[in-house]
Amino acid sequence: MKLVEAWEKRNEWKNDYHIPSYDRTAVKNNTLKAPIWLHFGAGNIFRAFIAAAMDTLIEQGLSDKGIIVCEDFDKELIDKAYRPYDSLSLLVTLKADGSISRKVIGSIIDAVTENDRMRALFCEPSVQMVSFTITEKGYCGPLMRKIAEFCLERYKNGAFPVALVSMDNCARNGEVLSNAVLRHARNLVVEGYADEGFIKYLTDPLKVSFPWSAIDKITPRPDAHVKELLEKEGFEDTQQIVTKFNTYTAPYVNAEETEYLVIEDAFPNGRPKLEAAGIMFSNRETVEKFEKMKVGTCLNPLHTALAIFGCLLGYETVHEEMKDENMKKLVWELGYKEGMPVACNPGIASPGDFLHEVLTKRFTNPFLPDSPRRIALDTSQKIPVRFGQTLKAYESTPELDLDSLTFIPLVFAGWLRYLIGVNDRGESFELSPDPRLEELTGLLKDIKLGKALINEEGIDAILSDRSIFVIDMYSCGMAKKVKEMFKEMIKGPGAVRKVLQKYCG
């Protein structure tokens, strides 16, 4: 059975697949006539979480409209993973107890790559929300200029209210989005394309809002074992797709069951009743605290540690790493000993409970095939977000001491060792994409495994970069600790393991 066929012949599909019963043609017509939600970023987390939430609303009769997804960066995603399947997808939820649920998601009504169509959609008075999952680096890219231009068209054609909502894993994401859009908007004024009223429009929260949000759901690349399982059940749309931008996708998405999305409730043109799908709405302070708890202490720093050392030690999945006693101790100590003293308590979730679930259920889930290489993507952009606030908190709190930290410096040393591109067996491996990869590897190009470290200029240049580490690593003494650990790790094959045993034995 294929996706489109499964939807059309849902009564004939006898396997354990949930196929919604709503009239998708009516939902399509309603959406295209008066769209309420545009989303930029057609990746896996959008389909596994955001689109699935809207699907729940439609099923419950709480909305008669879906989402229109826009993709400006990797248009091959739309051509290969959306249009051939009428924008339907299969969500495969991999639960910690070993059970699996399968649901066809029909809330994505259209997939758009054309600038003129995006511009026209932006001008629709009915649009309540434009959301984004474009990763941290997307807010520095050319899409932000286009968003400013699309906002200008909305301003010129009625100045209708709208919420622009970042749903990416980055600190103060609403502020990041707002700053990016306003920077380009001011350029449009300087260039003569817009008047000052446009800036007033964008900075009036009753007209345009930039709600902060915090999102959490692990959505690995489509897994071959899941593909095999689906094919045995008679599901045919299982082609695994890799685009020229190295995006891994498929007509199905496999994801963990646990999910959180907390959004600042600031929507000047209204919003869907997403709380009925488990999405939490609160004030900005609560969102920021949840984001700091997750991104800065209780999950993302641990993920980065597993990614770096997983690549060096040759692990294919996170759950296999969690069977390694050294790796297990690393993330437990990183979370409980060094992160928990500065963890924010948002009130809607306990940091201790959240961390315990991460370490005992989520990372150890053998049915969730998440890979260190995927998580190692864009590490230079993640370190300041995932470790920077913790370091600043230790630096500014009299009761805490930066010099007491061991496991955070160990992760930094591991990252430098990772950038050499040679694993702990002495074999070359492919580094994950990173916008600063060429620069960083160039600084370390003369460092060879098993050779004495003679020139430290490249290491010094990286460790003194506050855009990566946020604090002054040299004045606080952490750079010295990182360098010593790094020197131990380059002594030869097996040196990484020895260092881990030394500190995490």
Distance CA 387, CA 297 (A): 8
Distance CA 129, CA 151 (A): 12
- Please, are residues 382 and 301 in contact by the beta-carbon 8 Å criterion? no
Q: What is the pLDDT of residues 357-394, one digit of tens each?
A: 999 999 999 888 889 999 999 999 999 989 998 999 99
Question: Which residues does residue 261 pair with via DSSP β-bridges, in sequence order?
Answer: 215
Can you list the domains of the chain with their CATH numbers? 3-282 (3.40.50.720), 285-504 (1.10.1040.10)
Q: What is the pLDDT of residues 465-485, one digit of tens each?
A: 999 999 999 989 999 999 999
The mean pLDDT value for 181-189 works out to: 98
One-character DSSP codes across 442-470: HHTTT--TTS-----HHHHHHHT-HHHHS
- Please, are residues 74 and 81 in contact by the beta-carbon 8 Å criterion? no
SS3 state of residue 227: helix
Distance CA 309, CA 261 (A): 29
The mean pLDDT value for 67-77 works out to: 96
- Please, are residues 34 and 124 in contact by the beta-carbon 8 Å criterion? yes
Residue with tokens 């300041």: 384
Q: Provide CB contacts within 8 A for 178, sequence distance 6+.
A: 164, 210
Residues in the chain: 505
Distance CA 461, CA 446 (A): 14
- Please, are residues 486 and 495 in contact by the beta-carbon 8 Å criterion? no
- Please, are residues 464 and 416 in contact by the beta-carbon 8 Å criterion? no
Q: What is the pLDDT of residues 301-345, one digit of tens each?
A: 999 999 999 999 999 999 999 999 999 999 999 999 999 999 999
Question: For strand 37-40 and strand 260-264, is the pairing parallel, antiparallel, or unpaired?
Answer: unpaired
Q: What percent of the chain has pLDDT over 70?
A: 100
Q: Look at residue 15 and tell me whether its pLDDT is greater than 80.
A: no
Distance CA 195, CA 200 (A): 9
Q: Look at residue 432 and tell me whether its pLDDT is greater than 80.
A: yes
Q: What is the pLDDT of residues 156-168, one digit of tens each?
A: 999 999 999 999 9
Which band of pLDDT confidence, cut at 50, 70 and 90, is reported for residue 14?
A: low
- Please, are residues 24 and 106 in contact by the beta-carbon 8 Å criterion? yes
Helix (DSSP H) and strand (DSSP E) numbers for the chain: 24, 14
What's the mean pLDDT when you consider all of the chain? 95
